[in-house]
Structure formats: C-alpha cells, structure tokens
Structure 1
Amino acid sequence: MTHPPGDLAWQGELLDLDAYLARIGYEGDRSPTLETLRRLQGGHVTSIPFENLEIFLGRPVLLGVEAVQDKLVRHRRGGYCFEHTELFAAALERLGFTFTALSARVSLGFDKLLPATHALVRVEVDGGLWICDVGFGAGPLAPLPFEDGAEAEQGGWAYRLERLTGDAGGLPGAQEWALHQRGPEGWLRRHTFMLAPSYRIDYEVGNHFVSTHPNSPFTGRAYSQRYAPDVQYQLDGTRLTATHADGRADAVEVRELEPGEVPKVLAETFGVELAAADASRLVGELSRARG
C-alpha cells in the first residue's frame, strides 16, 4: 500500500524489520491481517520494557526510528510511550497496515485536565477498527476492538473502551474516548483520547515535555515496567511492585530495594542491562534521592 510521504509517514523504510521481529519473538506470516496485528502487539508489550532511565541519567530521549531502534532493538533497552509507539508504527507501516497515530491524556483516576503525553494507534484491518496501545507498560496484550463498551479479558487482565458522552471540548461531532483497565481495586480510567491524528512532530513536542518539564512524572524519578501474561512488574525508584493477574487477595507484592540492588533487578526482572558506568551512576542518583 502507499503511505503519505515525508513528515506524515513513520519512517518504516528505515526500520530493520528482521531485527525488530526477532526482538519481539515474531516468526511466520507478515501479511497485514488481524492475526498478524495481534501477534505483533503481544510480542511487543511482553518483550520490550517501559523505562525512563535516560532522563534520570541526564541524557536526552531521542525519537525517530533510527534512534529508537538503536536503543530498544539493538541495545535491548526499553523506553516510554513515544519511543514504543514510533517503533510500532514504523513496523505497521513497513508491513502495510492502515493506521492513525493518536495522542492521549493520562488520568489514572484523576479528574484534573492533564497534557496529552501518551501515544497509541488505531488500526484498520480486516474490515474493523482496533486500538493498539503498546507503550503504557501495562498492556493490553492484544488490540482492543474500537467499539463503545468493548471489553477484553486477556489472561486475567481486563480492559474496556468507552465513548464519553457529549461533544469533546464543546466541538460538535468531536469524539472523546477512554481506555479503562481493571486493577486489584476495580476499574480505573487509564487515559482519554480524541480521534484527531497525531504525527511525529506532535510526539516530538510531547516527548520534550515529558523528558524535561519539572511537572513531568518522569523527570524526578527512575521508573520501569515489565508486562507479562501473568504478572506486571513496576520499579519506582527503589520500590519494586509485582501485580499478579489472577486476582487473588495478595495480588500485589511490594519490596523496598537497596540502591545497589537496582541494576541487578533491572537486568533479571526487566531485561534492562545497563553499562557499568550507567549502573554506577544510577545507584549514586538513587542513593542521593533516598537521602
């Protein structure tokens, strides 16, 4: 298929597709079908972790496929939503999918209006529309049907899409949607999004805010997530949390680490292996943050 040129495209021609598919454990058919999309998303979210360590280590977060695949694919690091979504979009473009990139406002239960600092895509495939959210660090494992009230149970994890009532922002006909996820305490609104398309330049703006602004949740702490079909791990500073998908009473386990333990946990639990100099610097920063 033909994609828009230049700044409207997602640099799929620059992607090392074989390396990306190997990174997410994908083998087999590469035709743009719903089954391929499901396998791509499942492989991506369970293979490439979410992390903001570049910010905490004092380095810029670079977008563009060449920079993102060098970090997430070749060096087997993780990243946050803009990095994940640009990489996924490039793969979709290269494989011939039709899609629209979107921006979302993360809420996580808060009513305050927050900036659009999350990225996701809506894909048109096999006659239907699907939401793919690969950069949140907490699934979903598979695309969600783009339908009001659609719910998906995925191995103990659950997600729901909702079209919000009224015209978004007072604009007639404007649609605003919410993605909910079920946690140990019930349903939680994760983020809201409108259907206006986003482009790489929009993600550059969002990335600048997230990686530099003092009000960003990622400029003052080291944060990582690793998602699997049965458990989600979060590392917030030195606090390690494991949330299990089976819904048992002790579904959430919390452990406080010593700063010196963090590089080993990042490698063994999150699949993030830092160079020795970066590991030493991270331990130092975490020690100073603890006081």
Structure 2
Amino acid sequence: MESLGTARTDAYLRRLGAERPARPTAASLRELHLCHLRTVPFENLSIHLGEDLVLTREAVFDKIVTAGRGGICYELNAGFAELLGALGHRVELLQARVYGKDGVPGIPYDHLALRVDGRWLADVGFGDHTAHPLDLDEPGEQKDPAGVFLVRPARDDGEGGGGDLEVLHDGVPVYRLETRPRVLADFRTGAWWHRTSPESGFTKGPVCSRLTEDGGRITLRDHTLIATSADGDRTEEELTTDEEVRAAYRTEFGIVLDRLPVPLHPRP
C-alpha cells in the first residue's frame, strides 16, 4: 500500500495522541496499537446513517482522521496499515473468516487483519480483542490484558485452506486467517455484504465501542451505555432521550452526530 505523506501521518498521530517513533520497532508498534484501540472506536454507525463504506485510502483517512470517526474492521485496519507503512513498517493485509457461535466460519473476506514486519498480527478492528499485537512466530499461548490467545495452524477444511491459521481467545476459535497477502479492493464485497445483508450482525443495530485507559471497555449499543472494567465488572445505563444518546457519542467517543442512527434490519 502506498503510504501517507508526512503531514497526513502527523495528523493521524495527533488523532491517536501519539508521538512519532524514532524508528519502527516492535515496541513502537505495540504502543500505537494500544493508542488506536483507546482513541478510534469500533463503530458501525455509517450502516445505520445511510452512509456507504468506501474502501479507499482517501476515504478511510478522511473518516478516521478528518471527521474523527471510527469504523469497522476494513476501515480501521486499513487506516492503521497506512499509518504503519508511513512509519517504516512492512504491512500486509490478510483476510479472515470469523467463527460464529455455531463454530462455522463466516463469508470469505469477513474480516481484515494485518501482518506487520512478517511477524506480528495486528488487529485494531475486531472490537473486544487483543490490546497488543500477537506474535505469529510464537507457537504457544500468549497472555494479553484481554485474555490468553493462541495462534495455531488451522485444520484442513477440504476447501483449499491448507496453511491457514486459527486465532483462539481463551481457548475459543475467533477467526480463521489466510496467510496470503491481499489488497484493500479485495475486501469490498465483504464490506458490501456486512453493510446490506440481514444476516450480518452489523445491520441489526448501531454499536460504538473502544478500549478505556484502565483496560476496560465503554460501549454504546443502540440506547444502552455499557461500561466494563478490566476485571470484568459490568454496568448498563439505559439512555432515554435522543439528546442523552448524542451526548454519550460526544463524551465517550468524540463523535458529533446531527441525527441518530436508525437500525437497518432491527433485531426481532
């Protein structure tokens, strides 16, 4: 991917509240990954505001940096890939299929993740996931503030998936990762499906979520504000007026809306 220019890179770093690293290292990657999760929310509001999901480097930058918004995996990880590339990292886009509750993987190009410097699995676009990149060269369990993760070879599914990897969180398979590099345009069909299909969880209702400074998570799902602490304690607050919802978007996520998102395919 063509990297950002100096001015745009500096603007992205200001969006994250991060300093420009002196050189690209595993430590600087780890810090930027955490900053991104804390400042740029995972959110599907465009789907419920009637906005398209445009997967170009310009559109992603404008949404995340200029407009101060977040996005879903395709947008968040594409933006992060551009930033990392501009800072000297070698970044590859990888496609993954997310496992459903039934243990069946989703559609091809269900998810976009990043391989950085040939070793690190970075993912700032999966919501409640790792705080730090995972080491693809580590065959054993990896401890993270979000739990225990494992990257292992996937079982042959008979569909040409030999060489795929599985990412597990606390022993549960999360997604199946293909190791062949892709380009951003490859993910447009997956983004279209998630934006339009009644079968996509993203079309059921608006959600906005980010990691908090203390390692917890703040989430606004429809009109419910959910705060989860680092040790798992959870509180919920029902917001009763549109102004309360807009104020929560503003205060907790820095998102200013002149109208509220309306569920595209509401849950029954």
Q: Does 1:150 align with 2:132?
A: no
Residue of structure 2 aligned with 1:210, choices 174, 194, 198 = 194
Q: Report the alpha carbon displacement of residue 71 of structure 1 after superposing the two structures with TM.
A: 1.3
Give the alignment's Cα RMSD to 1 decimal: 2.5
Q: Is the 8 A contact 1:26 1:43 kept in 2?
A: yes
Give the partner amino acid of 2:237. Answer: R
Q: Give per-residue Cα distances to partners, 1:138-175, cap 9 Å, x unaligned.
A: 24222111123331232xx2241231453354548x22
Closer/same/farther in 2, CA of residues 168 and 270 from structure 1, 3 Å limit:
same
Instruction: State the distance in 2 between where 1:192 and 1:15 align.
Output: 36
Question: Structure 1 81/290 Cα, relative in aligned 2: closer, same or farther at 3 Å?
Answer: closer
Shift of 1:40: 1.4
Query: Are the equivalent residues in 1 in contact too, given 2:105–2:175 (CA < 8 A)?
Result: no
CA distance in structure 1 between the aligned counterparts of 2:94 and 2:113, rounded to whole angstroms: 5
Are 1:135 and 2:122 counterparts? no
165 and 113 in structure 1: CA distance in 2 versus 1, 3 angstrom threshold: closer
Whether the 8 Å contact between 2:89 and 2:117 is mirrored in structure 1 is yes
Decide which moves more: 198-207 or 17-26.
Answer: 198-207
| Number of the residue aligned with 1:252 | 234
Deviation at 1:219, TM superposition (A): 2.0
How far the C-alpha of 1:42 sits from its partner, in A, is: 1.2
Q: What is the SS of the residue equivalent to 1:59?
A: coil
Cα deviation, residue 21, structure 1: 0.6
Pick the aligned partner of 2:96 from 82, 94, 104: 104
- Contact 1:233 1:240 (8 Å CA) reproduced: yes
State the alpha-carbon separation in 2 of the partners of residues 289 and 103 from structure 1. 28
Q: Distance in 1 between matches of 2:267 and 2:189?
A: 31
2:149 to 149, 160, 169: 160
Cα distance in 1 for residues equivalent to 2:101 and 2:158: 19
**Runs of 5+ unmatched residues, structure 1:** 1-8
**Counterparts in 2 of 1:134 and 1:221: CA distance versus 1, 3 Å:** same
State the partner residue of 1:264. Answer: 247
Partner deviation per Cα, 1:174-206 (whole Å, 9 max, x = no partner): 223222334xxxx54322212122211112222
Q: Which amino acid aligns with 1:94?
A: A
1:65 to 57, 61, 76: 57
Equivalent residue for 1:119, pick from 99, 112, 116 = 112
Q: How does 1:218-229 map to 2 (within 5 A)?
A: 218-228=202-212, 229=214
Q: What TM-score does the superposition give when structure 1 sets the normalisation length?
A: 0.81
Give the unaligned 5+ runs of structure 2. none
Letter in 1 for 2:147: A
CA contact (8 A) 2:44 2:208 kept: yes
Query: Residue 218 of structure 1: SS of its match in structure 2?
Result: helix
Q: Could you tell me which residue of structure 2 aligns to residue 4 of structure 1?
A: none
Q: Tell me if structure 2 keeps the 8 A contact 1:14–1:66.
A: no
| Bigger Cα displacement from structure 2, 73-82 vs 158-167 | 158-167
Match of 2:8 in 1: 16
- Give aligned-pair identity as a percent: 32
Residue 178 of structure 1 is matched in structure 2 by 166
Question: Judging changes above 3 Å, is the alpha-carbon distance between structure 1 residues 158 and 15 closer, same or farther for their aligned structure 2 residues?
Answer: farther
Matched, 1:81 2:84: no
Moved more, 197-206 or 73-82: 197-206
Shift of residue 220, structure 1, vs aligned partner: 3.1
Write the distance in 1 (CA, Å) between the matches of 2:147 and 2:254.
25
**Do 1:104 and 1:120's aligned partners in 2 also have CA atoms closer than 8 Å?**
yes
Q: 1: distance between equivalents of 2:198 and 2:6?
A: 33
1:12 deviates by: 3.4
Separation in structure 2 between the aligned mates of residue 77 and residue 43 of structure 1, nearest angstrom: 15
Note closer, same or farther for the CA distance 1:68–1:270 as it changes in structure 2 (3 Å cut): same
Letter in 2 for 1:152: K
C-alpha distance in 2 between matches for 1:113 and 1:11 = 32
CA contact (8 A) 2:55 2:185 kept: no
* Shift, 1:11, TM fit: 4.8
Task: Note the alpha carbon deviations across 1:243-280, whole angstroms, 9 max, x for none.
Answer: 22124xxx122233225221111111222222x2x24x
The alpha-carbon deviation at position 90 of structure 1 amounts to 0.8
> How many Å apart are 1:13 and its aligned residue?
4.6
